[in-house]
A and B are shown apart, each in its own frame.
Chain A
């Protein structure tokens, strides 16, 4: 069974540019969550999508956005990049509608460097 696939794995952008990251969840999983990991702030929740609807949102500026497609694949977009956006962006997928004991399976992450 294929795991969670994130692309690209590494990317370098300059300030002011925008970036789109992609996440393909485990087959059959309908929930996709995104997290940002930085040395200073640790792991922070960005947002979650379930059946193409945003179900939860973290405390990030509007420059961070996401969407989910009918095949459950998800993208997140960061516009007007800032140096502080340099981070490892992790995507996680989960099977069920109700949280319960649902385990989040993470991808390997997309490492973004903003110059």
Chain B
């Protein structure tokens, strides 16, 4: 089974509108972390937001928020007030604690977001 599933290969949103990018995950580890990264065409992965499995509140970072629904195993990224510069590939990733305490991330297949005027 896929550990991280992103079902939207591509999304379009109009400038200034909000958009939700979906991410579901699968793990039996009670302690895990969820990340969202943005990858522009230049290739560099840019960290957006983090949610720990024990965090009580949904994470927020500026225009980014994470809609964390633990029972449904979903961690959707919400981008408010979209900007043209938000056009990029977005990846959801998970780090499980049962990987020896290290930094192994499992990534989803990504969602290509295009912001239009």
Where the two chains meet, the residues of A that have a C-beta atom closer than 8 Å to any C-beta of B are 31, 33, 35, 42-45, 48, 50, 55-56, 58, 88, 90, 92, 94, 97-109, 111
Contacts and interface: CB of A to CB of B under 8 A. Distances in A.
Q: Give chain B's interface secondary structure class.
A: loop
Interface in B89-114: 91, 93, 95, 97, 99-110
Given A99-B102, A101-B33, 9 more contacts: A35-B105, A42-B109, A45-B106, A92-B45, A99-B101, A102-B103, A103-B35, A103-B47, A104-B105
Number of chain B interface residues as a range: 20 to 34
A67 to B, nearest CB: 16
Nearest to A102: B103
Contact of B44 (A33, A94, A103, A109): A109
Contacts of A98: 101
